[in-house]
Amino acid sequence: MRAPVTWIRDHAALDEAMTGRQLADALIRAGLEVETVEQIGAEVSGPVVVGRVLSAVREPQKNGKTISWCRVDCGPAANAEAAQPAPEGEPASRGIVCGAPNVVEGALVVVALPGAVLPGGFAIAARKTYGHLSDGMICAEDELGIGEDHAGIIILPDTDAEGRPITPGQEALPLLEERDEVLDIAVTPDLGYCLSIRGLAREAAQACAVAFTDPVTRTTPPAHADGFPVRSETSGCPLFVAVTVEGLDPAAHSPEWMRRRLTMAGMRPISLAVDVTNYVMLEIGQPLHAYDGDRLTDGIVVRQAAAGERLVTLDGVDRALDEGDIVITDGSGVIGLAGVMGGEDTEITEATTRVVLEAAYFAPVPIARTSKRVKLSSEASKRFERGIDPGAAFAAAHRAADLLVEFGGGQVTGETVYGAVPVPPRQRVAADLPARILGHPIAPVEAERILRASGVDVALDGDDLVLDPPTWRPDLVDPYDYVEEVGRKTGFDVIAPVVPTAPAGRGLTPAQKARRALTVALPQAGFVEVIQFPFAAESELDRLGVTAEDDRRRLVRLANPLADTAPYLRTSLLPGLFAAVARNAARGQTDLALYERGLVFFGPAGVAPVPPVDRRPSEAEWEAINAALPEQPEHLACVVTGQWLPSGWAAPAQPAQWRHAVHFVETVAATLGVEVARLQDAQAPWHPGRCARFIVGETTIGHAGELHPSVCQAFDLPAGSAAAEIDVSALMAAVPGPGQLPTLSSYPILKQDVALVVSEKEPQAAVAAALREGAGDLLESLALFDVYRGSSIPEGSVSLAFALRFRAPDRTLTEAEATAARDAAVAEAARRCGAELRAV
Amino acid sequence: MSSSESPAIEPTGVDAATVDRLVTEAERDFAAATTSEELKAARARHLGEKAPLVLANRAMGHVPAALKKEVGARLGAARARVGQAHAERLEAIAAEELGARLAGEWVDMTLPVDLVPTGAPHPITALMEQLGDVFIGMGWEIAEGPEVEADWVNFDALNISPHHPARATSDTLFADPVDHHLVLRTHTSPVQIRSLLTRPLPVYIVCPGKVYRADEFDATHVPVFHQIEGLVVDKGITLGHLKGTLDHLADVMFGGVRTRIRPSYFPFTEPSAEIDLECFVCHGASVGDPEHPCRTCSSEGWIEWGGCGVVNPRVLTACGVDPEIYSGFAFGMGVERTLMFRNGAQDMRDMVEGDVRFSRSLKGGAR
């Protein structure tokens, strides 16, 4: 809502000295979001006077434009100072070049004389142009910063607002009401009445503790039908006022002041009837519609639309109607989409002399629904959606009729009131509730005073306030709505801040602690976290090589995806990470170790019930809601490409490899304290021979390895890139309880090394596990220290060298004991893995 | 070697002058040694088995009893002096030699020592953890919930009516089909509903997390972003408690700044308010001072931070909490927005494009 401050002042007795900025601050404090305070005409300085065009000679130019060479009477003083006096025998004047098509002989215009400075620092001076010395400028609205209009120059009327004649030479700016300030206010949905000068003036008066003059002075009389016949067949329209004005002069124009205010409010002046309906809507908040009375047939009937009905609206669009729409009809059928937009057929025209003004109350929900359905948000629908004041409909219709009569001639010939003003619901509120909820001592009498000033009818009944809200406040329903009203008018700034005392908290949950530990550990291990959009395409899964049966095909589809190319929710973090690699590569960063932690989504999703909200959902309803949600586990994934470390002074480059991806997972497991085992596997999108599966107990928690060459190709990754993806929810579920610290043995250690020859397809993890098992309790640790392939062992086999360390908790081990344990270990490795002892 | 061999010096002839000479010679030789090898050779001459003082000592048996005490004392003192001189020189040479060796081992200690690549958490993650810590410190707990959410939890229970414009497909992302009532949560408020339904009262929680809007993607909008919301439901909770909490949060995160709340409208709170943060750069000094404009607050003195209010009793009712007994407050703010003005992030797109320079720039945290 754009509100000129002068218009607000018409109804709120604000201090003369108060600036627009100060008013804005007062309104902001009361909860109105004033986005800008615009200065109108404030940047004009220097001489700007009224001039009368004595002659205007059209002169076509080579550039295709036509200019007018004018002699303008700018008043005796200005005429005397003319750079080039008028030719002998002609009246005193100044010569001015004007490019506007509407400059005509005899017109009263606004002239900026040399020395004037217009908005934007535009200094006026006498200058040579189009072969003449132009001795001033005839101004258009936009040049003075008072409007957008640049179609032509401003043509002044013969008399000012008080009826005094306007004469050349007088100062023009006061005539233009040029100085004003416009507040642009984003009105919240609960304060629909502030989409009017009336509402804003009431708030302003209350906020500044000054008198308010209500532009609505007439109350709605009981139903009667002295005018155009009207009937409503829908509960969506409980009140309809129709006022008929006849004998209008179709050529009549809106007065300049009205056009100016409309312009400042952001509406384009069109014709008297349209301007008047808009003006009254802005002033009172009641949307009005003007029908051409001669184009209406029979009476008006308001009803729900029938399926299949259509209407061509004012904007020329032929629209299919829906049974939920409220429509205005006459004998010819549908003539308007109630509260949203009128129809073409009954629109007023340049020939209209008989106008039927509609001022109706339409219920917010159906109007919002229709406006949303037809994707048409009009000034009217914005107001009906938020709830207008039905109590003002009658007054608004008459205010508009009076303006039509005043400026267009004619007379009011009839009025019809159908229905009645709905009575807003009464509420009973404990008088101390505002103080209790706001945390500020507000005496019941003070609450009562504030509510009365807001238009609420207040009665005290024991400890309760009995409250009847005014018709313009449909937002005052619940007790807390009144708390807000009292709070808003008291000001939240006076409430003392108090830190509430929470009960003893339990700190972070184990999962939260785990995540925080990962936020430290993974960057320390060399990985950079990224956050990607979680949207996915099937083609990404194809490129990953994921089969039709794979869980990752259990996609959840979006009904209205942001991009049609990614209509699903992700089931894997990898495509997003691959895209991040590509973006980094395009910016010259090719050595990358990226990771992401986030939810993935596995269908199918169910249908969620929608229980009522006047009670807690039942256990069954709550379970059904949760059962309808898709599975949403938290995943953690990484990708490594290029060089893990570039070539340096101390060491050659280390290419990013599968072991970095594996290390990522092992870092996660170690950080969380979970024992994770690694098995050989073959799974998309990994290289079939270079893919590890991680298990906790029997549960697979993810994979890591080198990416399949075709995947690297499909995602534009360097060959040899590696990746890992794990279900970190599953891993966190396996986080053990408090660990047990060992008793440390201080007896000496015995070291034994073994080299075992096994088939090269035998995983070292299996050999290590066998050794560990076979060695028994005396084995303290075991480490692989060499992997050898070569001529001294059979082809297709590999030699694995392990360092075994033995220690007993209670005695010094003998060499014989350690050797026996080692032999048992080797025997177990031989039994399980076919290992042969190569060397001791 | 037996003691019967002829001594180089007759013990009886070990007169004081001779001993002094031997000691002086030894001291001179030790001092002349410049390396540990030379010192070793000098030691052999003066303290070795053939050294005169050693031989003289060995020959003490031949010294007449009457002189034994005197000669023994003289020799002992002499040997101690020589031993002492050797030890001192040995220590000095060792120190010199160590110094020389270490000087030769000089390396350029400004060389890069990257053993692992430079990792970093995402600034959003780091900031969310930091925000969460403020509340953990107050005894609150961190609550979480799903990102695909039932629309009853995301909207209805929060008093957002079925006709509310936010529920249109132009604003909210829906799982297909729309009438299955599943949405990508548009705020973290559904976690408040879940908390009220599943936690014992009183409830003091914050819920950081990812949210979704069918929004533009440009320098100032991302359709997927993060919020942190707080909820308190207890007996006797007031708007004053909300103000106290916000002031505390602002103080911890921005250092000594206040917040301001001004009336606004949200369906789930009543009264509702916008949260403004006092500009932590200019503290309002730039207001009305065109000479010293403030980029952080656009010389407004305040920065819009989020929304808040008293929990609407309708929300409590939908969660089975009796509004006659309990009241509460809730607040929420955008994490990206907070990062933008707190850490000077210029372009929202940087937060989701995965450029490693962005994550690395805060050096491991959102300080």
Phi-psi category of residue A763: left, alpha or beta, with phi > 0 → left and psi -120 to 50 → alpha = beta
Chain A residue numbers touching B125 (CB-CB < 8 A): 519, 529, 531, 597
Nearest by CB to B354, from A530, A601, A605: name it: A530
> To the nearest whole angstrom, how far is the Cα of B207 from the nearest Cα of chain A?
12
> To the nearest whole angstrom, how far is the Cα of A834 from the nearest Cα of chain B?
38
DSSP one-letter string for B190-221 = HHHHHHHHHSPSSEEEEEEEEEE-S---BTTB
Asked if the Cβ–Cβ distance from A487 to B118 is below 8 Å, we say no
Pair (B96, B134) in one structural domain:
no
Pair (B54, B99) in one structural domain:
yes
With a CB-CB cutoff of 8 Å, which residues 384-443 of chain A face chain B? 436-440
Q: What average pLDDT does this structure show over A585-605?
A: 96
Tell me the average pLDDT of chain A. 93
Pair (B18, B148) in one structural domain:
no
Pair (B177, B54) in one structural domain:
no
Chain B residue numbers touching A478 (CB-CB < 8 A): 270, 312-314
* Alpha helices for A216-265 (secondary structure H): 256-264
Pair (B150, B62) in one structural domain:
no
Inter-axis angle of helices A379-386 and A272-284, to 10 degrees?
30
Q: What average pLDDT does this structure show over A452-476?
A: 95
Which amino acid makes up residue B261?
A: I
pTM for the whole structure: 0.83
What per-residue confidence (pLDDT) applies to B8?
Answer: 46
In which band, very low, low, confident or very high, does the pLDDT at B2 lie, cut at 50, 70 and 90?
very low
pLDDT tens readout for residues A340-365: 998 888 888 889 999 999 999 999 99
A703 pLDDT above the threshold of 80: yes
Residue B112, in any domain of the structure: no
Pair (B198, B55) in one structural domain:
no
What CATH number has the domain spanning A48-176? 2.40.50.140
What per-residue confidence (pLDDT) applies to B10?
Answer: 54
Q: Which CATH number fits domain A2-42+180-208: 1.20.120.550, 3.30.56.10, 3.50.50.60, 3.40.1080.10?
A: 3.30.56.10
Peptide bond into A604 cis (omega under 30): yes
Asked if the Cβ–Cβ distance from A616 to B319 is below 8 Å, we say yes
Asked if the Cβ–Cβ distance from A531 to B122 is below 8 Å, we say yes
What is the extent of the structural domain holding B294? 123-361
Residue B145, in any domain of the structure: yes
Pair (B211, B333) in one structural domain:
yes
> To the nearest whole angstrom, how far is the Cα of A655 from the nearest Cα of chain B?
12
Which class is A224-419 in CATH?
alpha beta
List the CATH number of the domain containing B309: 3.30.930.10
Domain with CATH 3.50.40.10 in chain A: 224-419
CB pairs under 8 A between A and B: 308
Asked if the Cβ–Cβ distance from A523 to B262 is below 8 Å, we say no
Nearest by CB to A33, from B114, B264, B354: name it: B264
> To the nearest whole angstrom, how far is the Cα of A608 from the nearest Cα of chain B?
5
Q: How far is CA B175 from CA A561, A795, B181, in A?
A: 9, 57, 8
Domain with CATH 3.30.70.380 in chain A: 750-839
Q: What average pLDDT does this structure show over A791-814?
A: 94
In which band, very low, low, confident or very high, does the pLDDT at B6 lie, cut at 50, 70 and 90?
very low
Residue B307, in any domain of the structure: yes
How many percent of chain A have pLDDT more than 70?
99
Higher pLDDT, B64 or A165: A165
Superfamily the domain A510-733 falls into: Bira Bifunctional Protein; Domain 2 (3.30.930.10)
Nearest by CB to B180, from A436, A479, A608: name it: A608
> To the nearest whole angstrom, how far is the Cα of A577 from the nearest Cα of chain B?
8
Boundary residue ending a domain (B60, B76, B104): B104
Query: What's the fold here for domain A750-839?
Result: Alpha-Beta Plaits (3.30.70)
Asked if the Cβ–Cβ distance from B245 to A505 is below 8 Å, we say no
Pair (B179, B230) in one structural domain:
yes
Pair (B279, B344) in one structural domain:
yes
> To the nearest whole angstrom, how far is the Cα of B293 from the nearest Cα of chain A?
18
Architecture of domain A427-493: 2-Layer Sandwich (3.30)
Asked if the Cβ–Cβ distance from A372 to B165 is below 8 Å, we say yes
Q: Which residues contact A70 (CB under 8 A, 6 or more apart)?
A: A53, A54, A55, A56, A57, A95, A96, A97, A98, A103, A138
What per-residue confidence (pLDDT) applies to B294?
Answer: 87
Pair (B207, B75) in one structural domain:
no
Nearest by CB to A630, from B139, B148, B210: name it: B148
Pair (B196, B82) in one structural domain:
no
Q: Does B116 touch chain A (CB under 8 A)?
A: yes
Question: Which residue is closest to A190 within chain B, CA to CA?
Answer: B265
Nearest by CB to A495, from B112, B173, B243: name it: B243
B309 pLDDT above the threshold of 80: yes
Domain with CATH 3.30.930.10 in chain A: 510-733
Chain A residue numbers touching B116 (CB-CB < 8 A): 524-526, 645
A151 pLDDT above the threshold of 80: no
In which band, very low, low, confident or very high, does the pLDDT at B367 lie, cut at 50, 70 and 90?
low
Residue B304, in any domain of the structure: yes
Asked if A505 and B141 count as a contact pair (C-beta separation under 8 A), the reply is: yes
Question: Which residue is closest to B126 within chain A, CA to CA?
Answer: A519
A94 pLDDT above the threshold of 70: yes
What per-residue confidence (pLDDT) applies to B1?
Answer: 38
Nearest by CB to B239, from A437, A558, A597: name it: A437
> To the nearest whole angstrom, how far is the Cα of B156 from the nearest Cα of chain A?
7
Q: Which residues contact A676 (CB under 8 A, 6 or more apart)?
A: A665, A666, A669, A694, A695, A696, A701, A731
How far, in Å, CA of A369 to CA of B164, rounded? 9
HEC profile of A9-60: HCCECCCCCCCHHHHHHHHHHCCCEEEEEEEECCCCECCEEEEEEEEEEEEE
Asked if the Cβ–Cβ distance from A610 to B152 is below 8 Å, we say yes
Chain A residue numbers touching B364 (CB-CB < 8 A): 523
